[in-house]
Structure 1
C-alpha cells in the first residue's frame, strides 16, 4: 500500500497519525504524513515521508490561542482562516499528486482527503481519536455533555453535516476548480460514498470507550496509536531530572494549546496556590501560554515534555482533556483530573470519572484555589483512582492499536 495520511491540529492531532505511519513503514508499506510544517522533523525522524499542509492555519491557531481572552476570540480568529483553509486544500492535493497514494486516511479537520480519494478512485478512510463520526444510541455526539434518549443520541450526529454547511462553498470550488469533480450538496455529511458509509478508524481503547452496541462493521475501535518504545529516549534537562528524583508526590499540570493566554498569569497563580495548599509538588507545563508561572523549590516550570516520558514519572496528572493527553495519562497508569475547556474535553473528563480513574472534572472556567486544591487532594489521596488507572494501563498496554489499524487498512485496500 501507498498510504497518504492527512491531519491537522496540535501535537495531539499529529502524534497518533505519526505512530500509524511509523507502523505502516515497519510492515513494508509506504506511508506519508501530510501535516503542518512544524512537525516535519519529528515525523521524518521516524523514517516516514512528510508533506506540508495547513502550516498557515497552524500559525493562525497558535497565535490566537496564546493571545485570545476566551472562546469568543477563538471564533473571531476562525473567521480569518478562510484563505489559509483554501491553501491547505490545495496543498493536500499537491501532496497527493506527488505521493500517488493507493489509499488515503484523513482526520476530518484536514477536509480534502475524501474528495481527493474520489478524484483518484482510491479507498478513503476517515479517522478521529474520538467516537464522533458514527451515530450511536449509546451516547450523543461527544460535544454534548450529557446523555439523551437513544433516538436523540443518534440524531445528534447530524452535527456532522456542519462541515458541508459551513465550508460547502469552499469545498465545492476546490472540487470543481482543482479536482474536476461535480459539486455536491451543502447537506452532505461527507461520510458516505456511493451510498455506503466510509470506513472509520478510531484510535481509542475499547476499555476507555466500549464499542457501542449499534456500531456498524465499517467502524473500527483499534486501540490507541502510540509510537514505538524507542521514542521514550528523550534527553531531559538535568534540573527536571533532579526535581523528579526528590521525595514527595509530584503532580503534572498543563493545558496544552488550550487555556487562552490572556488569563495565563492569574491561572498560573491559582495552580501554584492550590498545589501548595495540598502540600504537593508540581511540574507545570506552560504549553502555548495557557499557564504562566515561575519555578521554585516545590514547582518546576517547563514549556513541554514528551508525555510518554514524563507521565510515568509523576504521581498524577491534571490537564485540559485533549484526547492525546488523556490517552497518555491512562497509558502511564496515572490518576487524572480533567479541567475541560471546550469541544470533546468534557466527554473525556466524564469518561475518566465514570471509569473511576479520577475525580469529577472541574471546568477550567470554574477553577479557584480552593476548588482546585480539593480536587487535587482527592486525586492524590483516593487509592481507588490509582488502582483503576493502573488496571486501565495494563489493559491498554495489551492492545496493539497500530497493528489492528494496519490490518484493517489492508482489508479495506484489498476490497474486503
Structure 2
C-alpha cells in the first residue's frame, strides 16, 4: 500500500513520523512523508520518500515575532499570538496537502496539524485516512484542553473548555478549508460539519503518546486510541563528534539545556542559562542557544563558530569562554535519543517530542514551556514526579532555573521515578499499533 504521512509544524511535529514511517516500510508499505521543506534532509536520511508542503512553524514564528522573546501560554497575550500565528500557518497548507497526495496515494495518515484539511483531501481522492496525533485534541472531562493552558476545571468544566478549544481551532482552519473544498470541487461543508461526520463515522485516531504518561480518557468515543510513542529514526551514518565525546568523558554527567525552535535563542537567553548552570554547580550541554540570526549565520562571541540549525553536520560549536572550557559545551544538532541518556537532567521547552525523548531516557526534567501544547506536557512531567517544577518561559530567571536544576540533579526521587517510567515506555510498541491499524484498513 502507498502510504502518505502528512505533518507540519516544528521539528517535534515531524521527527516522530520518521520512525513511524520506517516501521510501516518494514511492514511492506511504500511510505512517503510530506512535511515543510526544511525537513527534507531529515526525512531522506530516514530512508523515506519526501514531498514538500507549507506549514513551517519556526519560520512563521520568527517572522511574526521579530525574534522577540515570546510570551507563554497560559495567558491572553500568548493565546492571541498563537491564534494569529495559526491563521498564517494554515494559509496554503491545504493546497500543499492536495498536491502531495496527487501522485499515487492509497492511504493518508494525518497529524493533528494537517487533519482538518487532509480529511477533505482524502474525501476528494476517495481513499481511507487515519489520524496519527501527537496531542489529545478531543474534548474530555479527564483534563483541560491542551491549547488553552488552563488548570483542571473538573469533569464538566474540562469538557466545556474542550468544546471552546475546538471552536477556536475551527476558526484557524475555517477559511483554508472552504478554499480547499472549492478547489477540489467538493460540496461546501464547514469544519464543524466535517468534525461531526468524523465523529459519527468513528474516524480512527491513534495517539502517539504513552498511556503511562497520559491515560486514555474513559469518556472518549470508540476509535480514539492511545497507542504509545513512535520514536524518531536517527540517520544510520550519524556519529557523535569527538569534541562532544571528550567533553562527556571529562567529568560528571552534564545538564542539557535547549528550548526548541520556537524560542528566541539570542545572547540574553544564553547568558541567563550560563548563570543558572553556575548557580546549580553543574556542567552543561547547551543546544541551539546563542546562534546567529539565521541558520548558519556567523559566530557569536564566546561560543565559537558553526551553524546551529537542524542538520548541522558538525554537531558541536565549541566551549563557552568565561565559564571554563570544561564546564559548558554548546552543540548543534545532536539526536536526543543518543544525547539524553547521558545527561544528569534536562531543561527544555516540553514540546511533545522532546518531552517524550526525555521520558524514554529516564532523566529528570525542568520544563520551560513557551506556547501551544508545551504547558500541557510540562504540567504532565510535574504531575508524574519527574520534574521539580514548571517554569513558564516568560518567568524564567537564572536564580529560579538554577534552583530547579539543582533539585532535579540532587534529589534522587526524580531520577527514580523517571527510570521507572522509562522501563514502562520500553515495553510499549506504539508504531506497531499503527502498523496493525494500517493493515486493517488495507484489508
Give the alignment's TM-score, normalised by structure 1: 0.90
Structure 2 unaligned spans of 5+: 72-76, 294-299, 304-319
Runs of 4+ aligned residues of structure 1 deviating over 6 Å after TM superposition are 72-78, 80-84, 290-293
2:151 aligned partner: 146
Q: Is the 8 A contact 1:259 1:290 kept in 2?
A: no
2:285 aligned partner: 283
Q: 2:93 aligns with which of 75, 88, 95?
A: 88
Distance in structure 2 (CA, Å) of the matches to 1:119 and 1:148:
40
Q: 1:226-265 alignment to 2 at 5 Å?
A: 226-227=231-232, 231=235, 234-261=238-265, 264-265=266-267
Distance in structure 1 (CA, Å) of the matches to 2:63 and 2:334:
21
Question: Is residue 2:225 matched to residue 1:220?
Answer: yes
Q: Which moved more, 1:378-387 or 1:53-62?
A: 53-62
2:339 aligned partner: 310
2:26 aligned partner: 26
Q: Deviation of residue 301 (structure 1)?
A: 0.8
Question: Is residue 2:413 matched to residue 1:384?
Answer: yes
Q: Deviation of residue 83 (structure 1)?
A: 7.5
Distance in structure 1 (CA, Å) of the matches to 2:439 and 2:373:
30
Aligned pairs, how many?
Answer: 408
Secondary structure at the aligned position of 1:125 is classed as strand
2:422 aligned partner: 393
Distance in structure 2 (CA, Å) of the matches to 1:62 and 1:343:
15
**CA deviation profile, 1:60-86 (whole Å, cap 9, x unmatched):** 335446723424699679858867744
**CA deviation profile, 1:192-224 (whole Å, cap 9, x unmatched):** 338324211110011111122222221111111
Q: 1:38-117 alignment to 2 at 5 Å?
A: 38-54=38-54, 59-64=59-64, 67-71=67-71, 85-98=90-103, 100-110=104-114, 111-117=116-122
1:125 aligned partner: 130
Q: Which moved more, 1:327-336 or 1:209-218?
A: 209-218
Q: 2:370 aligns with which of 329, 338, 341?
A: 341
Q: Is the 8 A contact 2:12 2:351 kept in 1?
A: yes
Question: Is residue 2:289 matched to residue 1:274?
Answer: no
Structure 1 unaligned spans of 5+: none
**CA deviation profile, 1:341-360 (whole Å, cap 9, x unmatched):** 12211211111111111111
Question: Is residue 2:224 matched to residue 1:195?
Answer: no
1:243–1:57 Cα change, 3 Å: closer
Q: Deviation of residue 136 (structure 1)?
A: 1.7
Q: Is the 8 A contact 1:259 1:289 kept in 2?
A: no
Give the alignment's TM-score, normalised by structure 2: 0.85
Structure with a larger share of its residues in helix: 1
1:329–1:180 Cα change, 3 Å: same
